[in-house]
């Protein structure tokens, strides 16, 4: 029970053949993911063929199906990769204690707008793209996508709670509801910016959202959601 040890304790295992390089570090795998993100954020899942990705990444088909068991599996991998990248962007903005909470949200929206501008507003949000294609996607995408959005929203809720604790937004507002509204609208803004190839939709929505929560008369509450008359 020493050498043929169970795969559970993976640290001290001198296995036989060529070692699996760092699980995610394979160059081909990374190039495929990069190409996938570029193409899918621009054209969506259904419109992008595997061969197209292979050519873009300069990788043969054998590698693709070695690292991913199907196009769908690859797509799900892209979702987590995109989420990793995005959460980092989000946290960098949201956890910057040097700024006031609401300013951090502004930092994020500005950064995201710059990001879209860098690609000529031709690339949207992978989550939004795939969400709209759900009808044509394998079912596990749904949970993956909603889960990702939940994560973004949770972070935003925390930020807004902090803003509330610091009195930057009224105590009558519901941070969770606001965070949900923010991401609903922001995805819409990204879609629109991509359609019109310009940043105005992003700015418009951000401006309205900030106007909604800043300096509001405390008599207007968001929490009360229309009790029946």
Binding residues for a second copy, per CB under 8 A? 42-44, 46-48, 122-124, 128-129, 131-136, 142, 145-146, 149, 177-178, 180-181, 183-189, 191-192, 194-197, 201, 204-205, 207-208, 211-212, 215-217, 219-220, 222, 225-226
* Closest to 38 measured CA to CA, from 90, 92, 78, 87: 78
Which one of residues 2, 8, 12, 17 is an interface residue with DNA (CB under 7 A)?
17
Nearer to a second copy, 65 or 183 (CB): 183
Q: For residues 190-200, b (16+ Cβ closer than 10 Å) or e, as one string?
A: bbbbbeeeebe
Residue 217 interaction partner, one of a second copy, DNA, none, beta carbon < 5-8 Å per kind: a second copy
* Closest to 190 measured CA to CA, from 181, 203, 180: 203
Q: Does 135 bind DNA (CB under 7 A)?
A: no
Residue 26 interaction partner, one of DNA, a second copy, none, beta carbon < 5-8 Å per kind: DNA
Vertex 156, ends 154 and 158: CA angle to 5°? 70
Shortest CB 128 distance to a second copy, Å: 6
Which region holds residue 26: left if phi is over 0, alpha if psi is between -120 and 50, else beta? beta
Report which secondary-structure segment, H or E, holds 166. none
Shortest CB 4 distance to a second copy, Å: 46
Which region holds residue 216: left if phi is over 0, alpha if psi is between -120 and 50, else beta? beta
Q: Does 6 bind DNA (CB under 7 A)?
A: no
Q: Does 63 bind DNA (CB under 7 A)?
A: yes
Which one of residues 33, 35, 59, 102 is an interface residue with DNA (CB under 7 A)?
59
Q: 182: which 2 tokens? A: 């923010």
Shortest CB 187 distance to a second copy, Å: 4
């Amino acid at each position: 029970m020493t050498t043929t040890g169970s795969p559970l304790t993976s640290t001290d295992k001198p296995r036989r053949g060529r070692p699996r390089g760092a699980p995610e570090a394979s160059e081909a795998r990374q190039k495929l993911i990069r190409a996938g993100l570029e193409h899918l954020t621009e054209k969506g899942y259904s419109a992008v063929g595997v061969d197209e990705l292979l050519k873009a990444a300069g990788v043969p088909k054998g590698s693709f199906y070695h690292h991913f068991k199907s196009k769908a599996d690859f797509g799900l991998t892209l979702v987590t990769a995109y989420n990793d990248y995005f959460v980092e962007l989000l946290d960098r903005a949201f956890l910057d204690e040097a700024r006031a909470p609401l300013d951090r949200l502004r930092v994020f929206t500005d950064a995201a707008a710059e990001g879209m501008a860098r690609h000529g507003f031709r690339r949207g949000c992978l989550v939004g793209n795939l969400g709209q294609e759900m009808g044509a996607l394998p079912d596990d995408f749904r949970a993956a996508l909603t889960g990702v959005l939940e994560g973004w929203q949770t972070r935003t809720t925390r930020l807004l709670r902090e803003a509330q604790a610091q009195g930057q937004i009224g105590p009558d507002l519901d941070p969770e509801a606001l965070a949900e509204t923010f991401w609903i609208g922001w995805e819409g803004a990204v879609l629109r910016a991509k359609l019109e190839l310009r940043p105005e939709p992003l700015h418009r929505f951000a401006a309205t959202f900030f106007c909604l929560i800043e300096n509001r008369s405390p008599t207007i509450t968001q929490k009360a959601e229309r009790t029946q008359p």
